[in-house]
Structure 1
């Protein structure tokens, strides 16, 4: 069984760093810029469509989508991103595929993307393990997007984690009486609404059809990271790419040419 042997700085935001992290799949996804997307297990049609579009458009600019592998918004976010651009964090052992309805999806993510779990093989999901799983999902993402949530939902508990970690929270604008949890976040000034998906996605990177999607470095650069972020993750590769004319540095940020 594979375990992640190196330290993930993103998880330092958690109350307690996981003792073990099991995985199946492509660890290079951890080097990508990541956005966490969560929400209702029974999203309305509007949330379904917008979740899929958000995940799809973000993955096109090199962003990796993180979610919890659950029914509803989680599964839609994973599918929208594509199996090779998503991370599923499990509430059970890495050798189990839960929930069973998402068995084929999780198997595809194992093969092309990345599944992770801090629970020992064979561990069955319980009420408390969902909460622990959710903290990892939130910690891995640069920001948290909640596309639909009721007030007393697991998604709103994840929002509490995000607030404690100082993460920016984004939500979809919903009609009165729908998604009352996210509407409350907007009313309380704890989240920002995504009114235009293209504008939102543009904050994370630029589409370039010539990007080598098998190259984690180029995908990372597509998200317009800071020069310092790129050097920390990829070292001399940054200098080589700049000298070869593949990237330029503008206002301390990296852009593809």
Structure 2
């Protein structure tokens, strides 16, 4: 674990610039164009699929993805970007893997990407540290993408930070009765809707020839409904994580993508 010594201009938009910021990984990622992605810990299959495609497309075209290392939309955003092109901001010490289900994901980001935290080693996450984490996630990104959020969810606190920082907010087109928070933002004209992934990526990428996103290899493998034993033999670490995160379901010894 190290302390960031140079000033990060993006963080000047925070209410108070962090007194100390700890890191482990590649600080060069801070110099890239960055987009923050946040959202529900229990997103729908649709939201997971679109955020995976969006973060993958942005990453393949030089944009770094920033998120909070949590379950759900955060994990999908990090995984879609790939561990070498993502920044995970933690609500705890960098030495702690929280949530435990994302242990392997966070380990990969530590090795190949960047972990950031305002908290000392050994500090365990608390309700207020999540709020501190959320402000930092929002500040780092050029814009904020909200994958899915209900009106009374913690994700909407991140939206409040973005509004105070005068950052553009983007959301996915959602169905009536789902993601009430993002639908309200659109209704009140406080957020723009991403109707086309390539069009959105073009706004932030210097790459003229866009590279199309590829479906995650594990999820693509599971679309063929392999047996649990087959999946476990090929992807021993991914099966348990995907089941806990709600990406797959095991029925009668076979795997189904949700």
The TM-score, its normalising length taken from structure 2, stands at 0.80
State the Cα distance separating 1:90 from its structure 2 match. Answer: 0.1
String of CA shifts for 1:197-219, please: whole Å, max 9, x gaps. Answer: 11111111125599xxxxxxxxx
Counterpart in 1 of 2:147?
147
1:66 aligns with 2:66: yes
1:54 aligns with 2:54: yes
Structure 1 portions without partners, runs of 5+: 211-257
Counterpart in 2 of 1:122?
122
Cα RMSD (Å) = 1.2
Structure 2 portions without partners, runs of 5+: 212-258
State the Cα distance separating 1:61 from its structure 2 match. Answer: 1.0
Counterpart in 2 of 1:203?
203
String of CA shifts for 1:6-39, please: whole Å, max 9, x gaps. Answer: 1001000000111111101000000000000000
Contact (CA 8 Å) 2:43, 2:73: kept in 1 or not?
Answer: yes
**Residues 97-176 of structure 1 aligned to structure 2 (within 5 Å):** 97-176=97-176
For 1:57 and 1:209, the matched residues in 2 are separated by 8
Contact (CA 8 Å) 2:61, 2:210: kept in 1 or not?
Answer: no
State the Cα distance separating 1:94 from its structure 2 match. Answer: 1.1
State the Cα distance separating 1:4 from its structure 2 match. Answer: 0.4
Contact (CA 8 Å) 2:186, 2:192: kept in 1 or not?
Answer: yes
Contact (CA 8 Å) 1:60, 1:207: kept in 2 or not?
Answer: no
Where does structure 1 differ by over 4 angstroms across 4 or more consecutive aligned residues? 207-210
For 2:139 and 2:188, the matched residues in 1 are separated by 22
Q: Could you say if the C-alpha distance between residues 18 and 208 of structure 1 is closer, same or farther in structure 2, counting changes exceeding 3 Å?
A: same
The TM-score, its normalising length taken from structure 1, stands at 0.80
State the Cα distance separating 1:134 from its structure 2 match. Answer: 0.2
